[in-house]
């Protein structure tokens, strides 16, 4: 049985998580949510943990950033497969007494603000979830995201073919650079807002691009672990290799951050060499960075010198 603080929390979330018209017919309030996807659409599902001390720190991340990032990670997975979000479910475990302290209540409100802000911006209704007391003193959040795509038209990471051109969206390395800055000056971004450009604190999942790519791309993956690691995943699943031209990488940060820095949440995708790609989709640059090869090796070319690109996306440690 939830205690008073939790009931108040659920009531306030429910009041703010309005059900927009769409696949969600019934949201928070009954025993289950009810979804009715469009005819001839499949449902795609992804889940992500956001654990204090592992994915965010209360002394580094503004609460709104922790909430935004909790949802952004799952939305980026939907984007990678060309899906449109239809509902999110949030389970939140809070250390005992969190909601009895003003600072704790404020943190939880900030987290929900950040999460619902991105939910609204991306048309993702929060349709249910659970709250509980965490056994320890860390905040634990788990999010389930459902999306839909026309039947059989979703994008996979396993369908790249030798000769395909390799592309990436946006600018790489910004999230890793911002995390580095945050670790040096934890209070530096305490007044940041989701509307500012903050690639680590407030990443923007590429949902519109993913949906557009359904008819343009042959394969896609989102860059959550770093370009080198996620390219290795795509090559492994497609049983191909790749060669990247270092000079073409879209970056303003050091090359190693663009290649290996995690959490950019951009899309890495392949398209037939004959497919004409726009220079930008929805204002976001699309950059041709290399080619898919038959040989299983992943190479990087610096002025024509080809060397193996070793996947080195870091597991970020907070
Ligand atoms: Mg992913």
If pLDDT is split at 50, 70 and 90, which confidence band does 7 have? confident
pLDDT tens digits, one per residue of 265-291:
999 999 999 999 999 999 999 999 999
8-17, 18-27, 76-85, 303-312: least confident range? 18-27
Ligand 1: distance of its center to the CA of 111 in Å?
22
Ligand 1: distance of its center to the CA of 33 in Å?
25
Ligand 1: distance of its center to the CA of 217 in Å?
16
Query: Cα–Cα distance between 138 and 311 in angstroms, integer?
Result: 31
Ligand 1: distance of its center to the CA of 85 in Å?
15
If pLDDT is split at 50, 70 and 90, which confidence band does 23 have? confident
Q: Identify the pLDDT of residue 192.
A: 81
> Is residue 2 over pLDDT 70?
no
> Is residue 4 over pLDDT 90?
no
> Is residue 317 over pLDDT 80?
no
Ligand 1: distance of its center to the CA of 157 in Å?
10
Q: Identify the pLDDT of residue 282.
A: 93
Ion ligand 1 — residues with CB < 5 Å: 77, 222, 224
Ligand 1: distance of its center to the CA of 306 in Å?
28
Ligand 1: distance of its center to the CA of 222 in Å?
5
Ligand 1: distance of its center to the CA of 265 in Å?
8
Ligand 1: distance of its center to the CA of 79 in Å?
9
Q: Identify the pLDDT of residue 215.
A: 96
Ligand 1: distance of its center to the CA of 223 in Å?
7
Ligand 1: distance of its center to the CA of 17 in Å?
26
pLDDT tens digits, one per residue of 143-194:
999 999 999 999 999 999 999 999 999 999 999 999 998 889 888 887 788 8
> Is residue 19 over pLDDT 70?
no
Give the rounded distance of the alpha carbon of 187 from its chain centre.
Answer: 24
Ligand 1: distance of its center to the CA of 31 in Å?
30
Q: Identify the pLDDT of residue 28.
A: 86
- pTM of the predicted structure, to 2 decimals: 0.94
Ligand 1: distance of its center to the CA of 247 in Å?
26
Ligand 1: distance of its center to the CA of 30 in Å?
31
Ligand 1: distance of its center to the CA of 206 in Å?
12
pLDDT tens digits, one per residue of 218-244:
999 999 999 999 999 999 999 999 999
Ligand 1: distance of its center to the CA of 317 in Å?
19
Spatial contact of 242 and 162, defined as CB atoms under 8 Å apart = no
If pLDDT is split at 50, 70 and 90, which confidence band does 137 have? very high
Ligand 1: distance of its center to the CA of 77 in Å?
4
Ligand 1: distance of its center to the CA of 300 in Å?
23
Ligand 1: distance of its center to the CA of 103 in Å?
33
Query: Cα–Cα distance between 191 and 108 in angstroms, integer?
Result: 17
């Amino acid at each position: 049985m939830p205690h008073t603080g939790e009931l108040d929390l659920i009531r306030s979330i429910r009041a703010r998580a309005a059900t927009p018209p769409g696949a969600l017919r019934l949201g928070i309030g009954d025993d289950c949510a009810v979804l009715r996807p469009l005819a001839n659409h499949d449902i795609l599902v992804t889940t992500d943990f956001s654990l204090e001390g592992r994915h965010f720190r209360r002394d580094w991340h503004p609460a709104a950033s922790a909430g935004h990032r909790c949802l952004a990670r799952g939305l980026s997975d939907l984007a990678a497969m060309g899906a449109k979000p239809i509902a999110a479910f949030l389970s939140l475990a809070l250390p005992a007494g969190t909601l009895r302290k003003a600072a704790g209540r404020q943190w939880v409100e900030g987290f929900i603000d950040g999460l619902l802000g991105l939910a609204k911006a991306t048309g993702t209704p929060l349709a249910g979830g659970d709250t509980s007391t965490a056994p320890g003193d860390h905040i634990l959040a788990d999010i389930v995201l459902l999306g839909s795509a026309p039947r059989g038209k979703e994008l996979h990471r396993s369908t790249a073919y030798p000769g395909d051109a390799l592309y990436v969206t946006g600018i790489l390395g910004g999230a890793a650079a911002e995390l580095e800055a945050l670790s040096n000056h934890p209070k530096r971004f305490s007044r940041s807002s989701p509307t500012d450009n903050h690639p680590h604190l407030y990443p923007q999942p590429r949902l519109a691009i993913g949906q557009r790519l359904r008819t343009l791309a042959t394969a896609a993956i989102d860059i959550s672990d770093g370009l080198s690691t996620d390219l290795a995943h795509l090559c492994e699943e497609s049983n191909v290799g790749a060669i990247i031209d270092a000079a073409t990488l879209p970056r303003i940060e050091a090359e190693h951050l663009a290649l290996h820095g995690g959490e950019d949440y951009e899309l890495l995708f392949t398209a037939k060499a004959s497919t004409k790609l726009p220079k930008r989709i929805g204002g976001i640059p699309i950059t041709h960075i290399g080619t898919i090869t038959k040989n299983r090796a992943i190479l990087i070319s610096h002025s024509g010198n080809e060397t193996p690109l070793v996947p080195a996306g870091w597991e970020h440690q907070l």
